[in-house]
Amino acid sequence: MSAGKNFAGIIAFMKVATHGGFNAAARELGISAPAVSRSVARLESRLNVRLLDRSTHHVSLTPEGLQFFEECLPSVDHLTRAVENMKDAGDVPAGLLRVSATVGFGRKCVAPLLPAFCQRYPRIRLEFDLDDRHTNFAGDQVDVAIRNGRIQEADIVAKKIAPMRLIVCAAPGYLEQAGAPAAIDDLKSHRIIAFRLKDSGKPHEWEFKVDGKLVKLALPGHQVFNDPELVAQAALAGNGLAQLANYQADPHIASGRLIPLLADLVADGRGHYACYRNRRQMPLRIRLFIDYLQTALGGATPA
């Protein structure tokens, strides 16, 4: 059984498994969907095992296919990155850059910066995804993940690209009716607008710094949203208190549409980070992108 013949089938299978279908795999490989299907079928025939369950509208991995995918992933990912890294060998940066960002910060702060980056480096091909779930760098095939909060993973390098503060705030109309909290214990008597985390499905705990220590509160939400922009809109509408990131809150505070509360209890230590896997040599396209974000967003001091 020829290794060369198997390799094309393995790549086709990995793309189908990653994207969940033949059409998406074909678009990335630059061939037709029937060609991808034939390549995978030949691989199954050579291995004498069924890797994919196919139906009219759905493709899924068999147990054997899942095992094969997990065993092949490190090697295929390594080869793919080796090819992309070689594109950086010349004086002009090039290659595929895959970026994932949290929905709120990614849409509002990162996405507007991308056109200028792409114009500056026209040979870098960019894929940009908005997703609040925790990034699996190998499985999701991500080069850079923009994350919020505190990064404490040993195998991940995190560069701060922007400062981050979580600010409790409310619309003037709500405070006229309900009054302003003077301490964190007063929050329990207020209507809380909460943000639901995608990974856990639970509302995000509110954070404060009290007597030099980080305090987290799990407050019952009267309104709960899975999009930070909807949380901000609910606060602007006077529906209750919200704890918003400063990139959301600051413009509305400046305009008087939101009032900051408990300002002396704002926790520190947070930030927006560009994260990537620890590796001996960072590809040029990744370094250029992170440097660009740090400069544009004012977080040039490494975390």
CATH of domain 2-89: 1.10.10.10
The pLDDT, as a whole number, for residue 138 is: 61
Sign of the four-CA dihedral 238, 185, 256, 178: positive
Looking at residue 100, its amino acid is S
Question: What's the rounded Cα separation, in Å, for the pair 276 and 69?
Answer: 23
Mean pLDDT, the chain, integer:
87
Q: Which is more confidently placed, 43 or 301?
A: 43
The pLDDT, as a whole number, for residue 2 is: 47
The pLDDT, as a whole number, for residue 92 is: 72
Topology of domain 95-163+270-299 in CATH is D-Maltodextrin-Binding Protein; domain 2 (3.40.190)
Q: Which residues, at least 6 apart from 19, have a Cβ–Cβ distance to it below 8 Å?
A: 25, 28
Max mean pLDDT among 91-100, 103-112, 273-282 falls in: 103-112
Q: Is the confidence at residue 281, as pLDDT, over 90?
A: no
Q: Which residues, at least 6 apart from 280, have a Cβ–Cβ distance to it below 8 Å?
A: none
* Residue 170, CB-side half-sphere exposure with 13 Å CA sphere: 22
Q: Which is more confidently placed, 158 or 232?
A: 232
Q: Which is more confidently placed, 294 or 90?
A: 294
Q: How confident is the model at residue 1 (pLDDT cuts 50, 70, 90)?
A: very low
Q: Is the confidence at residue 225, as pLDDT, over 90?
A: yes
Provide the terminal-to-terminal Cα distance of the chain, rounded to the nearest Å: 50
Q: Above pLDDT 70, what percent of the chain?
A: 88
Structural Rg of the chain based on CA atoms: 23
The pLDDT, as a whole number, for residue 242 is: 98
Q: Is the confidence at residue 106, as pLDDT, over 50?
A: yes
- Phi-psi map region of 212: left, alpha, beta (phi>0 left; psi -120 to 50 alpha): left
Write out 40-96 in H/E/C secondary structure.
HHHHHHHHCCCCEEECCCCEEECHHHHHHHHHHHHHHHHHHHHHHHHCCCCCCCCEE
Q: Which is more confidently placed, 110 or 56?
A: 110
Mean pLDDT of 279-285: 77
Q: Is the confidence at residue 190, as pLDDT, over 90?
A: yes
**Which pTM does this prediction carry?**
0.68
The pLDDT, as a whole number, for residue 301 is: 43
Q: Is the confidence at residue 254, as pLDDT, over 70?
A: yes
CA distance readout (Å), 116 to 5, 85, 112, 129: 42, 23, 8, 18
Q: Is the confidence at residue 196, as pLDDT, over 50?
A: yes
Q: Is the confidence at residue 302, as pLDDT, over 70?
A: no
Q: Is the confidence at residue 268, as pLDDT, over 60?
A: yes
Show me where the domains of the chain are located.
Answer: 2-89, 95-163+270-299, 166-265
Structure tokens at 103: 């929905």
The pLDDT, as a whole number, for residue 55 is: 77
Architecture of domain 166-265: 3-Layer(aba) Sandwich (3.40)
Q: How confident is the model at residue 133 (pLDDT cuts 50, 70, 90)?
A: confident
Residue 101 φ/ψ, nearest 5 degrees: -140, 150
CA distance readout (Å), 268 to 20, 149, 271: 41, 10, 9
Q: Is the confidence at residue 211, as pLDDT, over 50?
A: yes
pLDDT, tens digit, for every residue of 135-188? 776 666 789 999 987 666 667 888 899 989 999 999 999 999 999 999 999 999
Question: What's the rounded Cα separation, in Å, for the pair 190 and 66?
Answer: 48
pLDDT, tens digit, for every residue of 65-89? 899 988 888 877 777 666 666 655 5
Does the fold of domain 166-265 match that of domain 95-163+270-299? yes
Structure tokens at 166: 């979580």
Looking at residue 5, its amino acid is K
